[in-house]
Amino acid sequence: MELSENQPGEKKSVLDQAQPEKTAIKKKTWKIIIADDESEVHSVTRMVLGDYVFEGRALEFLSAYSARETMTLLEKHPDTAIILLDVVMETDDAGLKLAQWIRQDLQNTFVRIVLRTGQPGKAPEKRVIIDYDINEYKEKTELTVQKLFTTITSALRSYRDLRIIEKSRIGLEQIIKSSAHLFEHQPLKNFAKGVLTQLISILKLDENSVYLQLSGFSAINDKSDGEEFIILAATGIYENAVDHYVSDIFPDDVISYLQQAVREERSLFIDDIYVGYFVTRSKKKNLLYLKCCGHLGKLDQDLIKIFSNNVAAAFENLLLNSEIVDTHKEMLMTLGEVVESRSIEVGKHAYRVSLFCHLLALKAGLSQEEADLLRMVAPMHDVGKVAIPDAILLKPARLTPEEFELVKPHTTIGNELFKCSKRSIMNAAAIVAHQHHERWDGNGYPRGLKGEDIHIYGRVTSLADVFDSLSHARIYKEKWPMDQVVAFITKERGLRFDPRLVDIFMENLDEFIKINEQYPD
One pLDDT digit (tens) per residue for the chain, 521 residues = 222 333 334 444 444 544 434 334 457 899 999 999 999 999 999 999 999 999 889 999 999 999 999 999 999 999 999 999 998 899 888 888 899 999 989 999 899 999 887 665 555 555 666 667 788 877 766 667 888 899 999 999 999 888 877 766 665 565 455 555 544 444 555 555 555 555 665 555 333 222 222 345 556 665 544 567 777 767 666 677 777 777 787 788 888 888 888 889 888 888 777 787 877 666 667 777 777 666 666 766 676 666 666 665 555 555 555 555 665 566 666 566 566 655 544 557 888 999 999 999 999 999 998 998 899 889 888 888 888 888 888 888 888 999 999 999 999 998 998 888 777 888 999 999 999 999 999 999 999 999 999 999 999 999 999 999 999 988 888 999 999 999 999 999 999 999 999 999 999 999 999 999 998 87
DSSP, res 213: -
Domain 183-319 sits in CATH at 3.30.450.40
pTM of the model: 0.47
Range(s) within the chain of domains with CATH label 3.40.50.2300: 30-164
Comparing C-alpha atoms, which of 468, 467, 454 is closest to residue 498? 454
How far apart, in whole angstroms, are the C-alpha atoms of residue 39 and residue 28? 26
Where are the CATH 1.10.3210.10 domain residues in the chain?
342-518
Length reported for the chain:
521
List active site positions.
385
Neighbour-count burial of 282, counting CB atoms closer than 10 A to its CB (0-12 exposed, 13-18 middle, 19+ buried): exposed
CA 319 to the chain's CA centroid = 18
| CATH class assigned to 342-518 | mainly alpha
Closest CA to 341 of 379, 371, 310: 379
pLDDT at residue 447, as a whole number: 96
User: Where exactly does CATH 3.30.450.40 map onto the chain?
Assistant: 183-319
Q: At what angle do helices 349-363 and 456-470 cross, to 10 degrees?
A: 130
- What per-residue confidence (pLDDT) applies to 185? 44
Q: Are 273 and 240 in contact (CB under 8 A)?
A: no
Q: In the 8-state DSSP scheme, what is residue 15?
A: G
Q: Which CATH architecture has domain 30-164?
A: 3-Layer(aba) Sandwich (3.40)
Report whether the peptide linkage leading into residue 396 is cis, meaning its omega lies within 30 degrees of zero.
no
For residue 47, the model assigns a pLDDT of 92
The rounded Cα 436 to chain-centroid distance in angstroms is 34
Q: What is the DSSP letter of 478?
A: P
How far apart are alpha carbons 288 and 286 in whole angstroms?
Answer: 7
> What DSSP line would sit under 430-472, residue for residue?
HHHHHHTT--TTS--SSS---GGGS-HHHHHHHHHHHHHHHTS
Amino acid at 30: W
Task: Give the Cα separation of 212 and 229 in Å (integer).
Answer: 27
Intra-chain end-to-end CA distance of the chain, in Å:
31
Its sign, for the CA torsion 248, 249, 253, 259, is negative
